[in-house]
Amino acid sequence: MISFTFNGVELKGQSGQSVSAALLVNKERINRYARFSGAPRGLFCGIGVCFDCMLIINGQPNLRGCLTEIQPGMIVEVQNDH
């Protein structure tokens, strides 16, 4: 198991899992808040096409959770575009 944090809370995931998958296992479904409406968004296409699962990972925004593998100690944050 790998430990990472989401919004400051320590979570665990399996090695080889994507950030989005590891978050879903931990019942975290919201990856970002939309720019104009502020409505929550989560994983949608799951294969890197739609960009709805963008998160802040180790300080870098706009990274797709579905394409990024979790790493030990990774700092993941919800992305508020609103």
Does position 77 interact with another protein (CB under 8 A)? The reply is no
Query: In this structure, are residues 26 and 11 in contact, taking their beta carbons and an 8 Å threshold?
Result: yes
Spatial neighbors of 60 by CB under 8 A, at least 6 apart, are none
Does position 35 interact with another protein (CB under 8 A)? The reply is yes
Name the DSSP letter for residue 23: H
At position 70, the amino acid (one-letter code) is: I
Does position 78 interact with another protein (CB under 8 A)? The reply is no
Does position 52 interact with another protein (CB under 8 A)? The reply is yes
Does position 2 interact with another protein (CB under 8 A)? The reply is no
Query: Please, which of residues 11-30 interact with another protein by CB under 8 A?
Result: 14, 16-18, 20-22, 24-25, 29-30
Point out which residues bind another protein (CB under 8 A).
14, 16-18, 20-22, 24-25, 29-31, 34-37, 39-52, 54, 62, 66-67, 69
